[in-house]
Amino acid sequence: MIVDLLHNLSGKKRILILTHNNPDPDAMSAAFALKHLIYKMARKKSIISYMGIVGRLENRELVKQCKIDMKQSFGLNFSRYDYIIVVDTQPQAGNVFIPEGIQVNAVIDHHITKRKLIKRKDLIADIRPKYGSTCTIIAEYYKELGIVPEMDVATAMSIGITTDSIGAGRDSSPSDQQMLGFLFPHISINKLVRVQNPPLPRYHFKTLRKAIESAVIIDDLLFCDLGEVRNSDLIAESADYMIRMRDVKCLFVVGKLDNVALFSMRTKSAKRSVGNIAMNIVKNIGYGGGHTKFAGGQVPVVNRSYQEAVSILKTRLLKAIGIAPNTEEKPI
């Protein structure tokens, strides 16, 4: 696929690489590595753009340590670019800003989706749902082309793969593990440590306390409504922290940010594909998707209240995972 993409860049002057909104380490690092690969192989410069914020402290430290240069999509003149690549998401996923009438040329992603990409002969799509990380796909491009990634690129990709594929509630494949081995000799351990251990603000711990105090256990599901949050990453952070709780097999954390109900889902068992569940529970009201063990989604709350959106999501979730609606809710 990478050979075809590089071939298609011939004659192109302005290349745009888009990540999903509020990008995570996998999205940022995949875009960063692809940008370097395109320059090394085709001698063409490109820019990385995203909508939203980089909220999580670890993510900000990643940008700083690996010198990832990104621009906000807001105010960007998309019509100036003659080649657009979307990474770590898909145009129809609902979590990437693409103005109406703008055509995407290539998609590189590892998420599952029911919606089919528009079948165009000139569209390049490399989508691998069995992979735990988009960075794994990009790392394989480097290996296929016989390129040794620069230190910052290798470090960023290793963080992207680790964040998305290692730990409770995550999906990992042999390819993820192989690419970590490929990257490891070229990373900076010092930068890796700084990214993984940034100083955390007081509101981080306040949010975790709120998550614990508001969470209820329904059968083997842990359900948590955070209400208003300062950034979307706090929802995912709370989910990653609480999925470690014993006897909890599935977890759902929801919060409100900028008139949108955002949620993260986790499961410890591959028997429940929360990626499919996330897509089903937002049908006709929002967007969702993910993987077997972790997923997320969003529901606009402009035409309904936040609590109404949470109620709909909760009702659909309980039905999807087979829990009776009148099941007793127990505080932690």
pLDDT at res. 205 = 94
Residues 162, 21 share a domain: yes
The CATH number that applies at residue 21 is 3.90.1640.10
The last residue of one of the domains, among 174, 196, 218, is 196
Query: What is the distance of C-alpha 298 from the center of its chain?
Result: 13
pLDDT at res. 289 = 83
Report percent pLDDT > 70 for the chain: 96
The residues, any chain, with a CB within 8 Å of residue 288's CB and separated by 6 or more, are 263, 278, 279, 281, 282, 295, 296, 297, 298
The last residue of one of the domains, among 161, 196, 231, is 196
If you average pLDDT over every residue of the chain, what do you get? 92
Residues 209, 189 share a domain: no
Residues 224, 128 share a domain: no
Residues 222, 181 share a domain: no
Residues 76, 59 share a domain: yes
Assess if residue 20 is contained within a domain.
Answer: yes
- Name the band, by pLDDT with cuts 50, 70 and 90, for residue 115: low
- Name the band, by pLDDT with cuts 50, 70 and 90, for residue 56: confident
The last residue of one of the domains, among 196, 228, 244, is 196
Assess if residue 46 is contained within a domain.
Answer: yes
Which range is least confidently modeled, 133-142, 224-233, 267-276?
Answer: 267-276
pLDDT at res. 116 = 61
Residues 214, 166 share a domain: no
The CATH number that applies at residue 299 is 3.10.310.40
Residues 227, 120 share a domain: no
Assess if residue 131 is contained within a domain.
Answer: yes
| pLDDT tens-digit series, residues 190-241 | 999 999 998 888 999 999 999 999 999 999 999 999 999 998 889 999 999 9
Residue 130 belongs to what domain range?
2-196
Q: Name the packing angle between helices 134-145 and 151-165 (round to 10°).
A: 140
Assess if residue 67 is contained within a domain.
Answer: yes
Residue 259 pLDDT exceeds 60: yes
Which conformational region is residue 258 in: left (phi greater than 0), alpha (psi within -120 to 50 degrees), or beta? left
| pLDDT tens-digit series, residues 78-94 | 999 999 999 999 998 88
Report the pLDDT averaged over residues 277-284: 93
Residues 236, 189 share a domain: no
Residues 42, 184 share a domain: yes
- Name the band, by pLDDT with cuts 50, 70 and 90, for residue 111: confident
Assess if residue 174 is contained within a domain.
Answer: yes
Assess if residue 306 is contained within a domain.
Answer: yes
The total of structural domains in the chain comes to: 2
